[in-house]
Each structure stands twice: as structure tokens, then as C-alpha cells.
Structure 1
Amino acid sequence: MSTPRQIVCGSCGRINRLPVERAPEGARCGACHQPMFTGHPIEVNEEAFSRHVANNDIPVLVDVWAPWCGPCRAMAPMFERAAQQLEPKVRLLKLNSDNAPAISSRFNISGIPTLLLMRGGREIARQAGAMDARSIVAWTEASLTRSRDHT
């Protein structure tokens, strides 16, 4: 029997163990019974960000943004569309930089929007500036392929 994947619930934050052979599309949280994947990014605070990054066995794509940022607001629906294409292979999070100064500082975020692609608790790729949905998906997939090739 294979080792189960750990997936953090986007609704309640509980860590779920999902057998690798089980399709994640229909999976529900063992604690709150909500779907594990909804095709929508999850709004997170600093604590939830850290929990997802540290405990998800799938890659995590983070949109670091702020409500006053025009390019961030323009990219929001694109990130939403990208979630529909990337889940359940990738967990998508939205982190408001105004509400998460420690994370912004730790990752040296100097401009927004910034996409951070994380795997195994560490950053594997970064992209600053607004992108359309197709570009977000293509960049994410290419970055994941590159990081696998270098491990």
C-alpha cells in the first residue's frame, strides 16, 4: 500500500490523508465534510498560509495581492480561472499582503501581484506582475516540470 498524500482542507484547515490511488476530485474533508477541491482559490491569512505550505503534499500556488492594487484586481478573475484548470494537482491560495506583512517580508515581496509556487515547504518559482489565466497555468506547469527535472 502506498503512502497517502496530505491535503489541507480549504474550509476548516484540517490535514487530511488521501490515498494516492484515490482520485482527489470528489474527496471531502474528514472533519468538516466539505469538498477538498472546489476549483476556487482559498483566501488565507498568515497562519493558514503557513499551514498549507508546510502540510500539503501537492504544490501550492500563492497569489500575493492587495485590494488597492489595480493589476491585482485585474488578475483576480484570471487566477480564479486558473484554479479551475490547476486543481487538484495544485492548491491555489490568495494572500492579502496588507494583512500578512511577516510573510511579505519573509519572501521579500517587493511588488504585487506576485505568484509564489511552493512545494515541500519551499519556494520553487516566483513571477511578478499580472498574468492571464492561460499564462498562469502555463507558467505553473512549466515551473513544476523544471523543478522536477532538478530534483
Structure 2
Amino acid sequence: MNRTRILGTYVMVCGVLQGLLYLALSISRNCEWLCCFDSRIGIAFFELWSGREQMEPSVVRWLTVGWILALGVLLFVGRRLVKTYIVSEIVLSLPNIVYFAMVALASFAPDPQFSVTGLLWPIIVTLVFSIVPLMLAFWSRRHHPTSPRGS
């Protein structure tokens, strides 16, 4: 299996798992504790910060699932969209980084409402769903021949 197909497989699995998580969050209010396993928790944070009242996945978060799944399928079938995936993953991960920074800064307040220890699972999820596939994408690009040898 070539490197792009490995990346595509990993990205598809991430997309399916993210979709299943959103399905669980959409179906039952008893599953709100699962929000800390959301690979796009930064987007959810900004939605709540802007006045959204529930953790149910928004259209924006569902669109991220569709986009990541589509990229995973296209990478798996051999389309050379590694650069597109890299840019997409970086853009989709930026809200997480801002969220982590805001929680870390808020934990230094005299009466902190957020704790850095609450970031353990979201950071692990970000590593598995964003950092690992990004590293695979860079690995795929670095080892992918751009032209046949001898030409």
C-alpha cells in the first residue's frame, strides 16, 4: 500500500469516528460528556462562546466531517490531494490551538473556571486526529516521487 493510500485510510477512519461521535451527540443529551473527544472541540468552543446553547454538532462541524471524509476517500483512491489535506487540517486545527491557549490562560486566573487538567483528553484526541495524520501527510509528500527516475 503506498503512502497516500495509508494517509487516505487513516483520514477516512478519523472522519468516520468523528461522524459517529456527532451522531451520538445529536441523538442523546446523555452523551454530552463525549464532547471532550471531539477532534474539532475548538470550533464547538467558539460556537458556545458566540451564544450557541447546546453541544449538539452544528452544520459547520458536520461539514468538517464531510470534507475530511471526502479527502480521505480521494486520497485512498490515489488522488494527489496531500497539499489540500495539509492546508485543510491546519485550518481546521487552529480553533483547537486557540481553545487550548485560552483554557491555559484562564487557568491562571484567581478564580479559574477552567483547568488545564481538563485538556488531557482533548489534547490526546487532537494528537490522534490531527497531528498524526498531518505527520503522515508530510511523510507521504516527502517520500512521494514527483517524477520518474531518469527523466
TM-score interval for Structure 1 and Structure 2 normalised by the shorter chain? under 0.3
Structure 1 length-normalised TM: 0.26
Higher RCO (C-alpha under 8 Å, 6+ residues apart): 2
**Greater helix content:** 2
Question: Which of the pair has more CA radius of gyration?
Answer: 2
Structure 2 length-normalised TM: 0.26
